[in-house]
Amino acid sequence: MQYQVVPFRADVMEAEGARKAAEQLATLINQNVAEGWKYHGLETLVTDVTTPATPTIPGKSGCLGFGATEPILGRPETTRTVQVYVAVFYRET
């Protein structure tokens, strides 16, 4: 058995609602079925996304204060947890 996992994120306007999201999911399913895959289901994948730290770049004092520049402050490493929806497909090998 072979599996394929495809990220899914509906892109809808407020007035379009769930019907438009369902149409987008149906399109994704139909595209993969046409390629020989069978639809298994929509799952939630929870993952941590880490943004690496950036260093602080020191400023320059200049000559008697002329041409002085402010330091560019770095940022600490951050991690956030996100939920990603994935469509799962399978086929016999």
- Helix residue ranges per DSSP H, the chain: 17-34
Domain count, the chain: 1
CA-CA distance, 65 to 19, in Å (whole number)? 63
What is the three-class DSSP state of 23?
helix
Query: What's the confidence (pLDDT) of residue 80?
Result: 96
Tens place of pLDDT per residue across the chain (93 aa): 999 999 999 999 988 889 999 999 999 999 999 999 999 999 999 999 999 999 888 878 777 767 778 888 889 999 999 999 999 999 998
Residue given tokens 């007035």 in the structure block? 15
Q: Tell me which residue range forms the domain holding 11.
A: 2-91
pTM: 0.68
Using CA atoms, how far residue 64 sits from 22, 24, 41, 60, 72, in Å, is: 66, 63, 68, 11, 21
Query: What's the confidence (pLDDT) of residue 65?
Result: 67
